[in-house]
């Protein structure tokens, strides 16, 4: 069964895996920026800012990734007349919006875990809001935020498989195409699953190692 | 840009029916997955090395591969070796297996959080280990696990949308059908987003009620 599954089948899957990695890296990067901004906004001193951030975070956390992706895929060309059905950008925007909401919750939890006195001491030293966050609160919060962020990164690898519905040819879509051609769905998707495991398990191991080191 | 939210209103019963499919598939998979997850958790925390290896391998494989790929394997892959399941059963089996790995980890964490003193107190009272588990450890363990279980249930419900890809007629697939029928894309997906959001808010509220009613002592 595995013998016939040669290089011809494996190559498109490996190319798909590279694109999955690219999607995760891009949306992880933008998601982190969104998450930092909205996580800080969740604990901002000005109440309306908190409300806006809470609405975004709670609403997105109540949505399937698939709905976010389909909505953007169909809605962007309707709302922006010059835009076309661009798969790559839609995939990255969708996954970033999704990741941003979850990372914002992680960031908020991490900021709240920093003892209040730290921020107060910084203001007593005459630091303003930005200085206080840059030099006192965020460095301590980041340490707390890393382990759950690594956990979320694994979710993001798996969520990226849903991008196949808007026909972006990442690992899962590559698997679907290959299995249509070779009529061997069992082996093909076992290989796809193994590739996902190879992408995701090292992240899980790194997370565990990091947590042990922290204690 | 003009919106025609009223145009979608006549289709609301169809969407609600589809939402019901999403909900009952998720509930069934969550219950079945929890039933499988409990012995997995026991095996992973247990004394037998073989059982520990088997259960943690199963848990790691399930947790490090996407649900969609698992559904493809069951729906298309198993068909190749003569095991044909319809979309509903494929979704139920896939989501159950997927969920069992997550609930196993949650149960293990919950019961590990119960102070060892409680277990010792149970055996000091002359209870067998089964009695200690049933009358002393079970309730605090479940209570410690409840927030994570609720989270997992919401995530499972949201991920049930992936079953639309193996053509199960649940909410997401109903939304796509309605979108191609009415071409009111923004309105259709706004309805869908609100239905998913409302349901997940209700699940979270239900969990808070459960915590108050079932875990009072």
A127-143 pLDDT per residue, tens: 999 999 999 999 999 98
For residue A1, is pLDDT > 60?
no
Share of chain B above pLDDT 70, in %: 99
In a domain, B2, yes or no: no
Chain B residues near residue A193 by CB distance under 8 angstroms: 61, 65, 69-70, 73
Q: What is the pLDDT of residue A169?
A: 94
Question: Domain with B116 in it: what CATH number?
Answer: 1.10.3720.10
**Do the chains contact at B193 and A67, CB–CB below 8 Å?**
yes
Q: Which of A59, A158, A164 sits opposite B197 (nearest CB)?
A: A59
Question: Could you tell me the residue range of the domain that residue A104 belongs to?
Answer: 7-214
Q: Is residue A1 part of a domain?
A: no
pLDDT tens-digit readout, B148-199: 999 999 999 999 999 999 999 999 999 999 999 998 888 999 999 999 999 9
Q: Give pLDDT, residue B30.
A: 97
Q: How confident is the model at residue A205 (pLDDT cuts 50, 70, 90)?
A: very high
CB contact (8 A) between residue B172 and residue A197: no
- Residue B5 in any domain: the answer is no
Asked, for residue A2, whether it belongs to a domain, the answer is: no
Domain-embedded: residue B80: yes
What pLDDT sits at residue B70?
Answer: 97
Q: A66-70, A186-190, B109-113: which has the minimum mean pLDDT?
A: B109-113
Question: Which whole-number Å values give the CA distances from B53 to A76, A156, B41, in the listed order?
Answer: 48, 26, 12
Helix (H) or strand (E) segment spanning residue B86: none
In a domain, residue B75? The reply is yes
Question: What percent of chain A has pLDDT above 90?
Answer: 80
Contact (CB<8Å) B158/A164: no
Query: In this predicted model, what pLDDT tens digit does every residue of A81-103 receive, in sequence order?
Result: 777 768 889 999 999 999 999 99
Average pLDDT on A186-201 reads: 96
| Residue-level pLDDT at B133 | 85
Interchain CB distance below 8 Å, B185 and A62? no
User: Residue A6 pLDDT > 60, yes or no?
Assistant: yes
At residue A3 the predicted structure's pLDDT band, cuts being 50, 70 and 90, is: low
pLDDT > 60? residue B63 = yes
Contact: B197, A74; criterion CB under 8 Å: no
The separation between the first and the last C-alpha atoms of chain A, rounded to the nearest angstrom, is 46
What is the separation, in whole angstroms, between the first and last Cα of chain B?
56
Q: How many domains does chain A have?
A: 1
- Predicted pLDDT of residue A64: 96
Q: How confident is the model at residue B49 (pLDDT cuts 50, 70, 90)?
A: very high
Q: How far is CA B94 from CA A83, B16, B159, B217, in A?
A: 37, 24, 11, 37
**pLDDT given for residue A63 in this prediction:** 95
What pLDDT was estimated at residue B4?
Answer: 82
A 10 A CB-CB count for B211 gives 14
Looking up residue A45, the CATH number of its domain turns out to be 1.10.3720.10
Please determine, for residue A18, whether its predicted confidence score (pLDDT) is greater than 60.
yes
Nearest to A150 by CA among A81, A212, A200: A200
Distance from the A36 Cα atom to the nearest Cα atom in chain B, whole angstroms: 22
Is B3 part of any domain?
no
For residue B140, is pLDDT > 80? yes
Q: Is B183 left (phi over 0), alpha (psi -120 to 50) or beta?
A: left
pLDDT of residue B217: 66
The pLDDT of residue A50 is: 96
pTM of the model: 0.91
Work out the pLDDT band at A2, boundaries 50, 70, 90: low
- Nearest chain A CA: its distance from B168 CA (Å): 14
Residue A90 lies in a domain: yes
Chain segment B36-48, per-residue pLDDT in tens: 999 999 899 888 9
User: Containing domain of residue B16, as a range?
Assistant: 10-214
CA-based radius of gyration for chain A? 21
> B130-169 burial by CB neighbour count: b if 16+ within 10 A, else e?
eebbeebbeebbbbbbbebbbbbbbbbbbbbbbbbbbebb
Does B197 map to a domain?
Answer: yes
Per the CB < 8 A criterion, the answer to whether B76 and A179 are in contact is: yes
Facing B172 at nearest CB: one of A66, A172, A184? A66
Q: State how far the alpha carbon of A29 is from the alpha carbons of A95, A103, A198, A210, B44, in Å.
A: 11, 11, 21, 20, 35
Q: How many domains does chain B have?
A: 1
- State yes or no: pLDDT of B102 exceeds 60: yes
């Amino acid at each position: 069964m595995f013998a016939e599954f040669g290089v011809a089948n494996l190559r498109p899957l490996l190319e798909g895996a590279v694109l999955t990695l690219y999607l995760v890296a891009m949306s992880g990067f933008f998601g982190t920026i969104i998450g930092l901004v909205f996580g800080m906004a969740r604990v901002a001193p000005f109440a309306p800012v908190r409300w806006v951030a809470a609405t975004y975070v709670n609403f997105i956390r109540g949505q399937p990734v698939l709905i976010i992706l389909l909505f953007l895929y169909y809605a962007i060309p309707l709302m922006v007349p010059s835009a076309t059905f661009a798969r790559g950008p839609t995939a990255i925007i969708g996954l970033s919006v999704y990741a941003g909401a979850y990372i914002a919750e992680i960031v908020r939890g991490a900021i709240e875990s920093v003892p209040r006195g730290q921020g107060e001491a910084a203001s007593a030293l005459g630091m303003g809001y930005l200085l206080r966050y840059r030099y006192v609160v965020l460095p301590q919060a980041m340490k707390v935020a890393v382990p759950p962020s690594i956990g979320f990164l694994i979710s993001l690898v798996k969520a990226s498989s849903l991008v196949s519905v808007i026909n972006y040819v990442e690992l899962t879509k590559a698997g679907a195409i290959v299995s249509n051609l070779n009529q061997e769905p069992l082996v093909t998707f076992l290989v796809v699953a193994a590739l996902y495991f190879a992408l995701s398990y090292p992240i899980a191991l790194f997370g565990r190692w990091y947590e042990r080191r922290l204690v | 840009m003009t919106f025609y939210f009223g145009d979608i209103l006549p289709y609301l019963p169809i969407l609600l029916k589809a939402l019901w499919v999403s909900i009952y598939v998720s509930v069934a998979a969550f219950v079945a997955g929890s039933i499988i997850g409990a012995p997995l958790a026991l095996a992973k925390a247990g004394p037998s090395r073989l059982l520990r290896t088997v259960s943690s391998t199963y848990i790691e494989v399930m947790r490090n591969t996407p649900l969609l790929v698992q559904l493809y394997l069951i729906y298309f892959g198993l068909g190749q070796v003569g095991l044909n399941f319809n979309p509903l059963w494929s979704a139920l089996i896939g989501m159950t297996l997927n969920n069992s790995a997550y609930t196993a980890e949650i149960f293990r964490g919950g019961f590990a959080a119960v102070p060892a003193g409680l277990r010792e107190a149970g055996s000091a009272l002359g209870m067998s280990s089964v009695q200690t588990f049933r009358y002393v450890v079970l309730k605090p363990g479940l209570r410690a696990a409840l927030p994570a279980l609720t989270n997992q249930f919401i995530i499972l419900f949201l991920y049930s949308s992936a079953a639309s890809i193996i053509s199960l007629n649940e909410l997401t697939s109903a939304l796509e059908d309605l979108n191609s029928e009415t071409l009111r894309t923004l309105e259709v997906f706004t309805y869908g987003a609100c239905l998913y959001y409302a349901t997940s808010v209700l699940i979270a509220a239900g969990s808070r009620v459960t915590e108050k009613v079932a875990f009072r002592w």
